[in-house]
Structure 1
Amino acid sequence: MAHIDLGMDETLFPGITGLMKFRPETAKPLNALAEALLRAPNSLPAGERELIAAYVSALNECRFCRDSHSAFAAAQLDEGMTLVHQVRADLDTAPVSEKLRALLRIAAAVQQSGRAVTTDLVDRARAQGATDVEVHDTVLIAAAFCMFNRYVDGLGTFAPDGTDGYAVSARRIVAHGYTDSV
């Protein structure tokens, strides 16, 4: 049970979804941010941006965000959940492009501290073809998910076990986005 009374069955509205129903006035800008970062036109495919969110959420040990965004990434990546699990298990050996690997390393640095992002990390990403917009968006996705993870876990919300329970949400997010999903 969440640390506060959300006034609903948390199993029907797990994680951030229950919090957004509880406070729709804060849900609107948070969903708009997620939409802009994860779905708006961008040179990074939506599946890769969701993978960044899932990776940071895994590093933060936020079960709800890790599993939901893993499902959202898998639904948009040709390699599906297999690739998501490979990235989460071992970034160094995961079969991703060197550009994405460099961006995920930047995301991991942000998860530790914004100051952990070094010129060397950014230069490595650029050397692999990352643009300034992609570096910017990676840092902002990672920073935003640190906030989302702490929001979800800080209020002790319910999280279903495993990624299977997120398949319906993944289809809804892929089809309709974040601003129409709550």
Structure 2
Amino acid sequence: MAHIDLGLDERAHPGINGPMLFRPETAGPLNQLAEALLRAPHPTLTAGERELIAAYVSGLNECRFCCASHSAFAAAQLPAGMPLVDQVRADPATAEISDKLRALLTVAAAVQRGGREVTGAHVDAARAAGATDLEIHDTVLIAAAFCMFNRYVDGLGTLAPDDPAVYEMSARRIVADGYRAT
């Protein structure tokens, strides 16, 4: 049960969905941010790769709902699907991803620990692996935003369903319709 009364059935509106219904005036900007970061056209990072960054950071933050959601969203948009997502979440150093994505995940992990944890060496390594300044910028912003989203969900003590089918159903909706008020 959430820490506050959201005035709804949490089973029907788990995780971030309940708080967004509770405060629609903040849900709009939060959904717009997620849409811009994860779904909007990007010159080089696919929606699946951006969702993978979100899932990875959410896993590092131990946010069950966001990690499961964005893992499903990434899997639905990556050719290698959930096996790749699981590899990345377990150990990006050995996952079957590009050196560039591996370096960006290293940057994302540094952001998750704290903004000042990102060093010039992280940025230089990402550039050496082929990352552009736009990709580095967007990785930092995705990681920072997901630290906020994770804390929003967990700070209110929202429900994180155990059934993977819940997240797969949400993934189909997100892939088809994007982020919008629930």
Q: Which residue identity is paired with 1:81?
A: M
Q: Which residue identity is paired with 1:103?
A: L
Partner of 1:57: 58
Q: CA-to-partner distance for each residue in 1:69-89, whole Å, 9 max, x for gaps?
A: 000000000000000000001
Count of matched residue pairs: 181
SS in 1 for 2:77: coil
Partner of 2:88: 87
Contact 1:70 1:163 in 2 (8 A): no
SS in 2 for 1:15: coil
RMSD: 0.8
Q: TM-score, normalised to structure 2's length?
A: 0.98
Partner of 1:101: 102
Q: Which residue identity is paired with 1:172?
A: R
Contact 1:67 1:162 in 2 (8 A): no
In 2, the alpha carbon distance for the partners of 1:166 and 1:93 equals 26
In 1, the alpha carbon distance for the partners of 2:104 and 2:37 equals 14
* Residue 21 of structure 1 pairs with residue 21 of structure 2: yes
Q: CA-to-partner distance for each residue in 1:131-152, whole Å, 9 max, x for gaps?
A: 1010000000000000000000
4+ long deviations beyond 4 Å = none
Aligned residue runs from structure 1 range 148-163, under 5 A: 148-163=149-164
Once the two structures are TM-superposed, the CA of residue 162 in structure 1 deviates from its matched residue by 4.8
* Residue 12 of structure 1 pairs with residue 7 of structure 2: no
Q: Which residue identity is paired with 1:75?
A: A
SS in 1 for 2:92: coil
**Residue ranges of structure 2 left out of the alignment (5+ in a row):** none
Partner of 1:118: 119
Partner of 2:35: 35
SS in 2 for 1:161: coil
Aligned residue runs from structure 1 range 67-86, under 5 A: 67-86=68-87
Q: CA-to-partner distance for each residue in 1:121-178, whole Å, 9 max, x for gaps?
A: 1111111111101000000000000000000000000000153321111011001100
Once the two structures are TM-superposed, the CA of residue 6 in structure 1 deviates from its matched residue by 0.6
**Residue ranges of structure 1 left out of the alignment (5+ in a row):** none
In 2, the alpha carbon distance for the partners of 1:113 and 1:163 equals 30
Contact 1:2 1:158 in 2 (8 A): yes
Q: TM-score, normalised to structure 1's length?
A: 0.98
In 1, the alpha carbon distance for the partners of 2:35 and 2:52 equals 15
In 1, the alpha carbon distance for the partners of 2:164 and 2:140 equals 25
SS in 1 for 2:2: coil
